Amino acid sequence: MRVVYSKRALADLEQIANYYVAHASHTISESIRHQLLSVIGRIARNPDSAPRVSQRTQVRAATIIRYPFRIFYRVNDEGIDILHIRHTSRRPSEM
């Protein structure tokens, strides 16, 4: 399926990369990037694989196993919209 990133999701990816390059290492940043892309690939192949978010049933959330991130996305007739990528220790916010 076609995957489209929202402006917010693209900003999230940039913020994640910048943080880990500055506070950890380029290697960890690349590993996180690889894991995120791997899960997004899984979502594209099997969009119903992640559970729905209880407050917004049209939104699903896929967890990154090795790193504390969740990818929030919506499935529609045209493909998959990646809405937001957030660190699991952050407080919930409006999507």
Residue 81 structural domain: 3-87
Q: Is residue 29 part of a domain?
A: yes
The number of folded domains in the chain is: 1
Q: How far is CA 35 from CA 41, 57, 58, 67, 77, in A?
A: 10, 25, 24, 8, 26
Which residues are bridge partners to 79 per DSSP? 76
In a domain, 94, yes or no: no
The HSE-up count of residue 95 (CA atoms within 13 Å, CB side) is 22
* CATH number of the domain where residue 40 is located: 3.30.2310.20
Specify if 63 maps to a domain: yes
* Domain presence at residue 92: no
Taking only the tens place, the pLDDT of each residue in 30-76 is 889 899 999 999 999 999 999 999 888 899 999 998 889 999 999 99
The answer to whether residue 95 is domain-embedded is no
pTM for this model (two decimals): 0.87
